[in-house]
Amino acid sequence: MTDNILPLRTGPIDRPLGHAPLTNMSLLLSTLMDCRESENASARMGLYYGASGYGKTVAAGFAAARTGAIYVQAQRIWTQKTVLEAIAEELGIPNLERSGPRIFRQVVDQLNLAPVDIIIDEMDYLADKGLVEFIRDIHDATRIAILMIGEEALPAKLKRWERFDNRILVATPAQPATAEDALRLRDHYCHRIRIADDLAELFRLRCRGITRRIVNNLQAAQRAAAVEGATEIDAAWWGDRPIATGDVAVRRRDGI
């Protein structure tokens, strides 16, 4: 697998490499490589799905930079033509045709001329609008690997299209941050204050492994320590200070 990984690309897509190397980065990269190296040319599509905040988008940028894959992040208002235009732009296709079918042909021709894998983020938006079959058409016409990223319900959503679902080689669930991930996040984001392992683990457990919230709490702890003049902090120092878990407090009718 290592022999197939390209040198790092330059440009904006490299920015995710500035993040701490986490478990989900390895999982997503492995899923993409499984699709690329599949001996079954008729099934080289994959899914990577999970809860918001697990770092899927960062992992996608990391995988794109490592492999040379192109990365497209879908938006709610996109149409089939918009997706094709975005893919064409990432492929560097000049002088795009005006109609969707003609752009599709340009994309397929370019991918057959210079094959490159495609990562499509926020795939739920496309599935919700029924914009999936043309992705299968790209896959079938080129035999490239296509990795689609979305929320927990994405695999179930795609079951609506049997021929599309049959092309999916592997579906990998993103994982909550591990204890090791929490320490990597601490080491990456917190340089001014020494935060003990037990406090990083406390944040991980209370935030249920959601990477974004762990980072927010680590940074909040670093700021609090700086304000109070502490250079080393742990779970005992943190005490009963609040932890931002994302849970919304519910106020009772009596105001309590």
**Residue 55 forms part of a structural domain:** yes
Binning pLDDT at 50, 70 and 90, where does residue 42 land? confident
Whether residue 253 is contained in a domain is answered as no
pLDDT digits (tens, 9 = 90+) for 80-113: 999 999 999 999 999 999 999 999 999 999 999 9
95 is a domain residue: yes
* Average of per-residue pLDDT across 64-83: 96
Distance from CA of residue 94 to its chain's centroid? 28
pTM of the model: 0.85
pLDDT tens-digit map of 153-179: 999 999 999 999 999 999 999 999 999
Q: Which residue from 62, 80, 83 is spatially nearest to 9, judged by alpha carbons? A: 62
Query: Residue 47: inside a domain, yes or no?
Result: yes
pLDDT one-digit tens code per residue, 4-17: 333 322 223 333 33
* Closest of 93, 30, 38 to residue 67, by C-alpha: 30
- Verify that 112 and 183 share a domain, yes or no: no
Q: What is the pLDDT of residue 21?
A: 86
Task: Let me know whether 185 and 161 are in one domain.
Answer: no
* Residue located via tokens 């896959």: 139
Q: Same domain for 9 and 33?
A: yes
Do residues 105 and 141 share a domain?
yes
pLDDT at residue 253 in the model: 52
In a domain, 68, yes or no: yes
Q: Are 52 and 168 found together in one domain?
A: yes
Determine the structural domain holding residue 219 and report its residue range.
Answer: 179-238
Q: What angle do CA 62, 64, 66 make, to 5 degrees?
A: 70
Residue 248 is predicted with a pLDDT of 53
Residue 52 belongs to a domain: yes
